[in-house]
Structure 1
Amino acid sequence: MNNHTVKKEVKIKGTPYQVWEALVNPQLTKQYFFNCEVISDWKPGSDITFIRKFLWMKYELKGTVVDIHPGKLLKYTLKNTGKEGSQSESIVTDTITFANGMTKLTIEDNVGNTEGAEKRFNKSEKGWDKVLGGLKELIENKNMF
């Protein structure tokens, strides 16, 4: 079986604190993460939910916080439900490092090996490019608050 893990990184002219806030603050995620607010109490084992509202429709993507070290690491699962009701789980790891006045955010998204993994991998790869570009723009243009 193939390992379907998307790995993306972006260097941002901002502090690790700013990047962290952009990852965990629902008012900020809404600005760059497909109009989704992220909701959690940010403790290992707690629920994490990405909520997107559009007109009268509400879309929720749910998972669990696996590991968290504020300003450094956020790891969580997300449940994926296919059109036929099939279930799979992604494991997303966000790692923040700082060097030479730049903050690097590395995202690893293991979409699993169940049926449809290749399609989820391709969709995830494109999605993370858009998300990371939006996050970088949000922080570097100081549109955070």
Structure 2
Amino acid sequence: MSTTARADIHIDASRDRLWAALTDPDTIARYLFGSRVTTEWTKGSPIVYRGEWEGEPYEDKGTILEIVPGERLVTSYYSPLSGKPDIPDSYQNVSYLLADDGDGTRVTITQDGCADEAEAERSSGNWRMVLDSLKSVVEHG
């Protein structure tokens, strides 16, 4: 049975401003552990994340499954660091959802396909760190 990781946060910024932060490679590197993202930001295009984790270079990858500017970005995601083989069953879906929330925006990230509750909780914790960084970058520059 697969379990879903989830994290969300309120950010004092418009959905347009947050969308720009979610799709600008220089901004992404500031809140996503220094990852450099390469993609064409169109449905079906590959998306690649390159960086360094604990001193080791990595290259994670996936495909953009759905893209609705200002509202929703859904990608498949695979990391060789997972130790799983690069086969379709090893890919997870990661969704970034933006919704109006008072004077700002609620950003929700979900990641499906976690092996168990422990993995879901670890992933949720990582996404909470990403969202805290995103909030700081967007609200304070």
Calculate the TM-score normalised by the size of structure 2: 0.86
Match in the other structure for 1:129: 128
Structure 1 residues 47 and 84, CA, compared in 2 at 3 Å: closer, same or farther? closer
**Percent identity for Structure 1 against Structure 2:** 26
Structure 1 residues 84 and 65, CA, compared in 2 at 3 Å: closer, same or farther? closer
Match in the other structure for 1:70: 69
Aligned mates of 1:79, 1:95 — CA distance in 2: 20
Match in the other structure for 2:4: 5
Match in the other structure for 1:38: 37
Shift of 1:21: 1.2
Structure 1 residue runs of 5 or longer lacking an equivalent are none
Aligned mates of 2:119, 2:132 — CA distance in 1: 20
Amino acid at match of 2:67: I
Q: Does 1:52 align with 2:51?
A: yes
Aligned mates of 2:30, 2:11 — CA distance in 1: 16
Match in the other structure for 1:26: 25
Amino acid at match of 1:33: L
Shift of 1:104: 0.8
Match in the other structure for 2:99: 97
How many matched pairs?
Answer: 137
CA RMSD of aligned residues (A): 2.1
Q: Which range moves more in the overlay, 16-25 or 75-84? A: 75-84
| Greater fraction helix | 2
SS of the equivalent of 2:79 reads strand
Match in the other structure for 2:83: 83
